[in-house]
């Protein structure tokens, strides 16, 4: 079994992506203004979705 995605529901997707980029050096993989974004962590994508998404 392989874990492909972990998604956190957050208040501010852009701020969450920026935090993980700066704090852990994880490159941004994807961002869409509709309220979803991801950072690259290797084999598992770490996603952030707005509560409204």
Count of beta carbons in the 10 Å neighbourhood of residue 2 = 5
What is the model's pLDDT at position 1? 85
CB contact at 8 A, 16 and 48: yes
Q: For the chain, what are the domain ranges?
A: 5-50
Domain 5-50's class? alpha beta
pTM: 0.86
Contact status, residue 10 vs residue 16, Cβ threshold 8 Å:
yes
User: Per residue in 4-50, pLDDT tens?
Assistant: 889 999 999 999 999 999 999 999 999 999 999 999 998 888 999 99
* Model confidence band, residue 52 (pLDDT cutoffs 50, 70, 90): confident
């Amino acid at each position: 079994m392989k874990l492909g995605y972990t998604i956190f529901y957050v208040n501010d997707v852009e701020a969450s992506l920026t935090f993980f980029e700066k704090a852990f050096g994880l490159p941004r993989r994807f961002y869409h203004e509709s309220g979803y974004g991801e950072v690259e962590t290797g084999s598992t994508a770490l996603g952030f979705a707005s509560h409204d998404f």
